[in-house]
């Protein structure tokens, strides 16, 4: 087929395609604009996110601070966390928040509001009328202090070597596996993966987050 025939075909294909493929597209958050500045993490479009979710900035902020176990403040339209936190981790927390406090589990739309009945929080959908109680995972203080999360940066002593030659150390009640380290090394490790009480990480030059 000649080139211009092909181009003509392509033009025609574009004409017959609907302009927007779907009207009821899945709810999507704005892309999070997060950057690390020294020992802090700046979430630059925080208010854009709470606007889109139609939730109070303080509500989301308190959720994030508790989940991330770090102090932080709203400054203008931004939030500044007083620790280095990966944007992946923040993304995951916002997903959890959205699923817990915003998205209707019946119709999947975010057009909901939180109402309080007795002591129960109910998520009420303005689009389809569905109601569900909000099940807040209660992380007790001791829990959040004793949990390693992906993205955490910890300092450990490599006290052992596994069968495959990877260095291993202990942190709280976790075994942390760190390839490329030797017994006796003290290393800073960024956690990349978790499986039960086994954590996997890589040596990093970034400062420890906990």
Tell me: does residue 125 bind Zn ion (CB under 5 A): yes
Find the helix or strand (DSSP H, E) in which 96 lies.
helix 87-101
* Cα 181-179-192 angle, rounded to 5 deg: 125
DSSP H or E run through 154: strand 153-161
Site string for Zn ion, 82-111 (x = CB under 5 A): ----------------------x-xx----
Q: Count the residues of the shown chain that bind Zn ion, applying the rule CB under 5 A.
A: 7
Determine, following the binding rule CB under 5 A, whether residue 114 of this chain makes contact with Zn ion. no
In sequence order, what are the residues at sequence separation of 6 or more whose Cβ sits closer than 8 angstroms to the Cβ of residue 61? 46, 72, 74, 79
Q: Does an H or E element contain 62, and which?
A: helix 57-68
Give the position of tokens 């999947």. Answer: 108
- Of the listed pieces 44-52, 67-75, 122-130, 177-185, which binds Zn ion according to CB under 5 A? 122-130
115 binds Zn ion (CB under 5 A): no
Residues 81 and 37: beta-carbon distance below 8 Å = no
Letters for 46-85 (x = contact with Zn ion by CB under 5 A, - = none) are ----------------------------------------
Residue 127 engages Zn ion in binding (rule: CB under 5 A): yes
Pairing relationship of beta strands 198-203 and 186-195 according to DSSP bridges: antiparallel
Binding segment for Zn ion (CB under 5 A), chosen from 78-86, 116-124, 129-137, 167-175, is 129-137
Residue 122 in the binding site for Zn ion (CB under 5 A): no
- The site for Zn ion (CB under 5 A) is made up of 104, 106-107, 125, 127-128, 130
């Amino acid at each position: 087929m000649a080139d211009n025939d092909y181009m003509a075909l392509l033009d025609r294909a574009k004409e017959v395609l609907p302009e927007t493929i779907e009207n009821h597209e899945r709810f999507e958050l704005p892309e999070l604009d997060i950057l690390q500045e020294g020992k802090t993490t700046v979430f630059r479009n925080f208010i854009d996110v709470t606007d889109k979710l139609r939730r109070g900035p303080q509500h989301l902020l308190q959720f994030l601070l508790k989940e991330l176990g770090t102090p932080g403040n709203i400054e203008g339209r931004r939030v500044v966390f007083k620790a280095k936190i990966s944007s992946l981790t923040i993304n995951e927390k916002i997903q959890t928040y959205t699923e817990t406090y915003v998205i209707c589990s019946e119709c999947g739309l975010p057009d909901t509001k939180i109402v309080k009945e007795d002591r129960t929080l109910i998520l009420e959908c303005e689009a389809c009328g569905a109601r569900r109680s909000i099940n807040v995972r209660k992380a007790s203080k001791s829990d959040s202090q004793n949990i390693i999360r992906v993205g955490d940066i910890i300092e450990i002593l490599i006290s052992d070597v596994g069968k495959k030659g990877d260095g291993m150390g202990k942190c709280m009640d976790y075994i942390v596996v760190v390839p490329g380290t030797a017994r006796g090394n003290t290393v800073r490790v960024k956690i990349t993966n978790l499986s039960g009480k086994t954590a996997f990480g890589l040596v990093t030059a970034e400062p420890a987050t906990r």
